[in-house]
Amino acid sequence: MTGHRDTEDAEPRQTLIALVAPLVPAAITLLLLTQLPRVMAGEVLTFGWAWVPSLGISANFFVDGLSSLFALLISGIGVFVAIYAGSYLSGHPHLRRFYLYLLLFMIGMLGLVMAADLITLFVFWELTTISSYLLIGFNHSNSAARRSALQALLITALGGLCLLAGLILLGITADTFDLREILTLGEQVRASTLYVPILILVLLGAFTKSAQLPFHFWLPNAMAAPTPVSAYLHSATMVKAGIYLLARLHPVLAYTEAWQWTLTLVGAATAVVAAVLALRQTDLKLKLAYTTVVALGTVTMFLGAEASVAIAAAVTFILVHSFYKAALFMLVGIIDHRTGTRELDQLGGLRSAMPITCFVAAAAALSMAGFPPFLGFIGKELKYEGALAIASEPLLVAGAAVFANALMVAVAGTVVLKPFFGQRRPADIPVTEAPPGLWLGPLVLSGLGLAFGVATPLVADTLIQPAVTAILGRPEVVKMKLWHGINLPLILSLLTFTLGILVYLAQRPIRAALAAFFSRLPLSGDRAWDRLLEGLKTLAAVQTNLLQHGVMRRYLTVIFATVAAALGFVLLRAGEIPLDIDWPQLTIKEWAALALTLAGALVAATARAPLAAICALGALGVGLALIYLFFGAPDVAITQLLVETLFLVLVATTLHRLPVFSGAHNPRFRPLDALLALFVGALVTVSILAVMQTPFDATTSEYFERTAVPEAYGRNIVNVILVDFRALDTFGEIVVVFTAAIAAATLIGHRLRRKKS
């Protein structure tokens, strides 16, 4: 019904929101650009406010070189994604919802890269996880989209929990949650015994988020999201959150063998495996998704290093990759949008029909393949230079980099050459050029890839160098040039191109061989994940059936047996308890109340008629209320009496439905139940007597007695505690009462409606 209304009056408002939405990231980008000179000068901009001062947690934010680079990428690419989405999802009934999620995600990312407090960082980290869940599952009527969204959510949230534990340990080790302070305490953290647990937990968080082996499979599955989401989250921003975390904590956690080897090996393995998997795909979007995993692996590998040139390579590649990958995703979206397919075999010769798209795709792909003078070329040269500068395992890193880059060249070739050149496909439908809203974003992004390549020194000064300085925590001068002369990196580059072209030419047989190989693998990560979830569900079902059987008497038996076991254990451990019982001198009315209580209990336990048992319980309650009254607790006594009364009313209304009246009741003697009851009773009596023997600490009650009148203006201490001293507790209690009553009334009402119908 609401959906219907949405489509009716959606049109004008939709155009409005598609026009307004890009303005938000645009404003943020401009603001960040105006601050860029200060960041370049090494200044750190801070803002924020206190959040939980008692725990030393603050909502503080800071912008240094690294934050500035990421924030610019997030907001800058956000502008073009927002424009693109307006065209791509034009007329979609939930466009407004889409923009809401997108902005939510952007806020999460910006908060994450600017957070100056570990807990604040984590909160924004989770915000990106949740908003990405909403975005991946945006086409919620599609079950594959729902599955992928849930998979991404579970994996990244699981990593998020590990990260939270890691950050808390880090906070404890450094004795502060202030990130900027922690960044200066690297040596102290690394020397701590908690260093290895911190490292493992933080890396689990970063690796799940940035889709590193063996958690890589969620990212290609997340391609179920609409293309603007893939372009934004799964190439330029969200998956880089893990990378950001690694870069951010580099000064604290790096400089150890554990860091170096884990990052290098995991990154290299991810890059190589994902490159092979990318080659195997025939769906353009999936192919790009796997190349994103390659890029993430490569950056991780370089962040394992300490050499400044390796870090510069990582930072440059983050920048390069964000530009060309976001552009390429949007281009694949255009092809999909205009032709209705993303399958390589069904596409070809679109060059003449879509000249602008073809031109933009070529520019983005050239940057991806790393041809001069694109920024991609510089990124690649830096990678090789960085790889060779890694002292410990240059061969491994350089080898992995060459291998992954060669396959990237092949994939870049496929992505451009296959759909746009050769025989025209699909031949049966007319294909026309996309509207400007679609190609504007990719055009600007790939244009930037070219411009930044030509204006290399400018990029190095404004973006790369401040970021590298921030990661290494010492002023660094990064030299980047298009032409270095003939050196080893250039030779490696030539080798990459040769290899890549060879792979491109031989891709059909290679793909066939890979398909044959993968069909023989027993288990993929994706399948393993499904099995894990199935196992978890089975376990949940088994334990629920075991524990929640719905038989009241068995619940009570379990509860009382547990109480008896716990009390018995404590009493046994306490050893011998001197119980010196002095029989109190009770007055006759006190004896009478006691007798009433005991008689009520006895009759309730032995009565054959249920009505008699209920009345006896009432008598027991009144006896208890009298005892409270005699010993100076009138409020408790009144409450007890009222609860007894209402309880009786409630029982009376349900009485006719109890099994007693339906004939299922069989009031026979149950020796085991009696034994358990007596045992629990005896244990409780002994423990109460033992408690009475310990001296009573009257500090709290004296405080309340002293302050009730002067500070809370009340003489009834019980009430003053309830509504003033402990008002927050009472508030929680009435919320519980309210929730429980509403839930119960709803359940009963639901039964009633079902009975009527």
Partner 1 sequence: MNSVILQTATRALVALILVFSIYMLLRGHNQPGGGFIAGLIAAAGFALFAMAWGIAAARRALRVEPGKLAAIGVLLAGISGAVAALLGQAPFTGQWLFIGATEGDKGLPISTILVFDIGVYLSVLGAVVALVFALEEDA
Applying CB under 8 A, the residues found at the interface with partner 1 are 634-635, 638-639, 642-643, 645-646, 649-650, 653-654, 656-657, 712-716, 718-720, 722-724, 727-728, 730-731, 734-735, 737-738, 740-742, 744-745, 748-749, 751-752
Q: Please identify, using beta-carbon distances, which residue of 534 and 733 lies nearer to partner 1.
A: 733
Q: Please identify, using beta-carbon distances, which residue of 193 and 653 lies nearer to partner 1.
A: 653
Please state the closest distance from residue 748 (CB atom) to partner 1, in A: 4
Instruction: List, in order, residues 6 or more apart from 404 with CB less than 8 Å away.
Output: 271, 272, 275, 294, 297, 298
CA distances from 97 to 65, 140, 223 (A): 33, 12, 19
Sign of CA dihedral 411, 413, 415, 419: negative
Please state the closest distance from residue 641 (CB atom) to partner 1, in A: 9
What CA–CA distance (Å, rounded) separates 510 from 425?
23
Tell me the backbone φ, ψ of residue 47, rounded to 5 degrees: -155, 160
Please state the closest distance from residue 644 (CB atom) to partner 1, in A: 10
- Strand ranges inside 22-181, DSSP E: 45-52, 57-63
Q: Please identify, using beta-carbon distances, which residue of 393 and 644 lies nearer to partner 1.
A: 644
What CA–CA distance (Å, rounded) separates 236 from 224?
17
Please state the closest distance from residue 603 (CB atom) to partner 1, in A: 24
Site of tokens 């993430």: 296
Q: Please identify, using beta-carbon distances, which residue of 146 and 726 lies nearer to partner 1.
A: 726
Q: Please identify, using beta-carbon distances, which residue of 176 and 639 lies nearer to partner 1.
A: 639
CB 298 within 8 A of CB 383: yes
Please state the closest distance from residue 636 (CB atom) to partner 1, in A: 9
Which candidate, 293, 297, 451, 453, places its Cα nearest to that of 375? 453
Task: Copy the structure tokens of residue 426.
Answer: 């699909």
Q: Please identify, using beta-carbon distances, which residue of 544 and 716 lies nearer to partner 1.
A: 716
Site of tokens 């009031």: 667
Report DSSP state, residue 348.
Answer: B
Give the DSSP H/E element, type plus range, for residue 389: helix 375-389
Please state the closest distance from residue 739 (CB atom) to partner 1, in A: 9
Please state the closest distance from residue 15 (CB atom) to partner 1, in A: 39
CA distances from 219 to 225, 256, 294, 609 (A): 11, 29, 11, 66
Q: Please identify, using beta-carbon distances, which residue of 49 and 483 lies nearer to partner 1.
A: 49
CB 218 within 8 A of CB 295: no
Q: Please identify, using beta-carbon distances, which residue of 355 and 659 lies nearer to partner 1.
A: 659
Please state the closest distance from residue 645 (CB atom) to partner 1, in A: 6
CB 61 within 8 A of CB 116: yes
Q: Please identify, using beta-carbon distances, which residue of 45 and 722 lies nearer to partner 1.
A: 722
Please state the closest distance from residue 50 (CB atom) to partner 1, in A: 13
Q: Please identify, using beta-carbon distances, which residue of 41 and 728 lies nearer to partner 1.
A: 728
Side chain identity at residue 584, one-letter code? P
CB 676 within 8 A of CB 561: yes
CB 105 within 8 A of CB 59: no
Site of tokens 């769906």: 283
Please state the closest distance from residue 726 (CB atom) to partner 1, in A: 9
